[in-house]
Amino acid sequence: MNAPIISYNLENGVARITLDDGKANVMSETMIKALGQALDQAEQDQAVVLLTGRQGVFSAGFDLPTLRGGGDAAMRMLNGGFALSARLAGLPLPVLVTSPGHALAMGIFLVMAADVRIGVKGAFKYGANEVAIGLPVPYTAVELCRARLLPTVFQRAMMQAEIFQPEAAQEGGFIDRVVEAEQLAEVAEEAAAILAKLDRRAYVATKMRVRAALLESLPAALQKDDADFRSILSRS
């Protein structure tokens, strides 16, 4: 019997969601569906979301064999992944993401959708490598990154596929804070506890105001991505 690739633990008003496929935490169709179900449960529990990965990696992005295989499976994975990132950006709950390591491509786009983002020191990579492998950065990803990155870093990260190590990622806006790996769990719990104490109604209302421009841009971006993915996959 296969071990679950996502765990969900609710305690003290915090829903701890951990991605762990035993490898690179790729955003396969199965992972995307499981994460969506975990967010459903968090909404039902009205909990602070604390989303994290396995040691050394948050997520390295989409499942490449599925992507290369094309067809309906690739379309479902791509559309599902970006719909999930858009959902996370507008989730009516506080959302904290901790990255215990690498966060690349679809992995970094999920990080960018969070309210609070914490990484760890080390030789870890943050960024979007789409252009480097011959793919245009999806519209939804561009909007998520535009909302969080410094303008100069935004251009380099999107168009030149520049990859950043943790301290530079923090300076550029990919993450808010970098801590020692052994401190991550404790720091995450402290940050989640602070979020849990904030007035929830005021928090969510303010989140929607702060992110109004981003959230208004995402439905059209998702539609453009769907058309773009179909065009790209039809040529592969």
Provide mean pLDDT across the span 222-229.
97
Express each pLDDT in 97-138 by its tens digit: 999 999 999 999 999 999 999 999 999 999 999 999 999 999
Domains along the chain? 6-197 (3.90.226.10)
pLDDT in tens, 28-63: 999 999 999 999 999 999 999 999 999 999 999 999
Q: What average pLDDT does this structure show over 141-156? A: 97
pLDDT category of residue 2 using cuts at 50, 70 and 90: low
Do the Cβ atoms of 178 and 198 come closer than 8 Å?
A: no
Predicted TM-score of the model (pTM): 0.96
Among residues 127, 173, 128, which one has the least CA distance to residue 148? 173
Q: Is the pLDDT of residue 236 over 90?
A: no
Per-residue pLDDT tens digits for 184-210? 999 999 999 999 999 999 999 999 999
Nearest one of 79, 8, 43, 11 to 229, comparing CA atoms: 79
As a whole-number percent, the residues of the chain with pLDDT over 90 amount to: 96
Residue 212: how many other CB atoms lie within 10 Å: 10
- Say whether pLDDT at 1 is over 60: no
pLDDT band at 234; cut points 50, 70, 90 = confident
Q: How far apart are CA 152 and CA 173, in angstroms?
A: 11
- Are 83 and 110 contacting, i.e. CB atoms less than 8 angstroms apart? no
**Mean pLDDT for the chain overall:** 97
pLDDT tens column, 67-81: 999 999 999 999 999
Separation of alpha carbons 230 and 232, rounded Å: 6
Chain-centroid distance, C-alpha 96: 10
pLDDT of residue 220: 98
